[in-house]
Amino acid sequence: MNHFEYRDGVMHVEDVALPDIAAAIGTPVYVYSTATIERHIAVLRDGLAGVESGPAGPWIAFAVKANPNRAVLATMARAGLGADVVSAGELLRALAAGVPADKIVFSGVGKTADEMALALERGVGQFNLESEQEAVTLSQVATRLAIAARVAYRINPDVDAGTHAKISTGRSDNKFGIPYDTAAAAYARLAALPGIDVQGVAVHIGSQLTDLAPLEAAFVRIGGLIADLRAAGHVIRTADLGGGLGVPYDPSKPLPPNPADYGAMVARVTRGWDVRLMFEPGRLIVGNAGILLSTVVRVKEGAAHPWVILDAAMNDLLRPSLYDAWHDIRAVRPDGARFVANVVGPVCESGDTFATGRTMDRVAEGDLVAFMTAGAYGATMASTYNSRALTPEILVTGEEWAIVRARQPIESLIAADALPPWLQEEIA
């Protein structure tokens, strides 16, 4: 469920009419709903209500990469969520949004020594390590700073998540984690390193999963490993089960498993583990909480179908170009007619295509369209390709809305480049 609905034939976000935002801010613009974010958090918490996770309950760390806007992160922090970060930038953003450091887990396959030092000084709750080399570096940094690092190894369970190859992370031929088969030996070496406090195990097999079976297979392996590690004398207090639950993009496709099904599976598989469970949801919380609002620049005749040329492009929403991802595209003021069209942006690449041969609301020059389910991996993956400014972002709550990222002025984009001394005269 989300809060993007038609009222009197006009799409609203909560109590705000989208044309009002377009008139005030221009397009393209991302628009997020606080009520939808909060609802998704509540649905996930309800789904996990039956899991055994110790007195503190599950540690839910929002995957910042899905939507790092500080206002979005502050909404998560207000709801009591922690954060899953993968860079110094994400760590600082989460802290700047009020996420307590001890609710932050630092993931990522290439943490640098400087990033580790920053995270240790700020007091992050857990490092998810992805290699033995990384553990050695963290041990050195932690020893130098005299701050113990609480760590888990991310295990690569060699399970095929059955999702798009570019967002699949749990097979042995993916770069992530340490192999399941050698994990016990790796933990023995880990525990011997100075400055390291072994705390748990972690797994994340991919994103936009539409089947619980691979997740269950991975979690079963983690359960076996926890038992083996305890038998070898390790104290295992946390089990991080990652993120990855899919969201509905295409209304004509079967719904992905809901958080209640997911929670029931987790409760069944993890019963008796005697750990604090951790989760790193990203898309599940913000995917359907955001749209990208765009204007039709013109409609051009095409060989097979008309070309609907928008003012949004692949630089604003990369997912269709990068993963052939499907986003529902709706008219903000539909007139009831439908047509078949190719929907594209103005960027000079044929890959700047949002939809081909799409049956959709009929739109004409000047009309507003909304890309649905654009709250996750939308604005955060934007670039300035073709010297297009970064898209602004709006957060709505009830009938209030606020600019939470202003449109980047083109002048600032140009001013960010510096001219070397030997070219300055030429320009002056």
Residues taking part in catalysis: 348
Q: Which residue lies nearer to ligand LLP by CB, 65 or 234? A: 65
Binding range to ligand LLP, per CB under 6 A, among 257-265, 274-282, 292-300, 329-337: 274-282
65 secondary structure, DSSP code: G
Question: How far apart are CB 61 and ligand LLP at their closest, in Å?
Answer: 8
User: Which of the ranges 136-144, 265-273, 275-283, 299-307 carries the binding residues for ligand LLP, by CB under 6 A?
Assistant: 275-283
Binder among 242, 256, 263, 320 for ligand LLP (CB under 6 A): 242
> Smallest gap, in angstroms, from Cβ of residue 62 to ligand LLP?
9
The binding track of 160-179 with respect to ligand LLP, each residue x by CB under 6 A or -, is -------x------------
Q: Looking at 282-290, 301-309, 332-340, 384-392, which segment touches ligand LLP (CB under 6 A)?
A: 282-290
Contact 127/150 with Cβ under 8 angstroms?
yes
Separation between Cα atoms, residue 388 and residue 315, nearest integer Å: 8
Binding span for ligand LLP by CB under 6 A among 204-212, 304-312, 343-351, 353-361: 204-212
Report the site for ligand LLP in 206-225 (rule: CB under 6 A). 207-208
Going by C-beta distance under 8 Å and a sequence separation of 6 or more, which residues neighbour residue 424?
none
Of 325 and 363, nearer to ligand LLP (C-beta) is: 325
3-state secondary structure of 403: strand
Is 299 within 8 Å of 365 (Cβ atoms)?
Answer: yes
Asked whether position 134 contacts ligand LLP by CB under 6 A, the answer is: no
Pick from 214, 282, 375, 392 the residue near ligand LLP by CB under 6 A.
282
Using rule CB under 6 A, residue 93 touches ligand LLP: no
Any alpha helices (H) in 244-313, and if so which ranges?
A: 259-270, 283-286
Rounded Cα gap, residues 74 and 106, in angstroms? 18
CB 263 within 8 A of CB 48: yes
The whole-angstrom separation of Cα 58 and Cα 70 is 23
Sign, CA dihedral 119-124-130-133, equals positive
Residues 340-399 that bind ligand LLP (CB under 6 A): 376-377
Closest to ligand LLP by CB, 278 or 332? 278
Identity of the residue, 61 or 309, whose beta carbon is nearer to ligand LLP in the bound complex: 61
Give the interface segment with ligand LLP, choosing from 191-199, 242-250, 352-360, 387-395 (CB under 6 A).
242-250
The backbone torsions φ and ψ at residue 84, rounded to the nearest 5 degrees and listed phi first, read -105, 115
Q: What is the DSSP string of 157-205?
A: ------S-GGGB--STTSS-SEEGGGHHHHHHHHHTSTTEEEEEEE---
- Dist CA 374 CA 268 (whole Å): 32
Q: Is 405 in the site for ligand LLP (CB under 6 A)?
A: no
Peptide bond preceding 28 in cis form (omega within 30 of 0)? yes
| Pairing relationship of beta strands 59-63 and 104-106 according to DSSP bridges | unpaired
Residues 69-88 binding ligand LLP (CB under 6 A) are 84
- Residue 415, CB-side half-sphere exposure with 13 Å CA sphere: 5
- Between CA 137 and CA 120 the distance in angstroms is 13
Tell me the closest approach of the beta carbon of residue 320 to ligand LLP, in angstroms. 10
Q: Report the residue from 281, 334, 375, 392 that binds ligand LLP according to the rule CB under 6 A.
A: 281
Selected binder of ligand LLP within 280, 328, 352, 367 (CB under 6 A): 280
Beta bridge partners of 61: 82
Nearer to ligand LLP among residue 264 and residue 381 (C-beta): 381
- Which residues are near ligand LLP by CB under 6 A? 63, 66, 84, 107, 167, 204, 207-208, 242-244, 280-284, 319, 323, 376-377
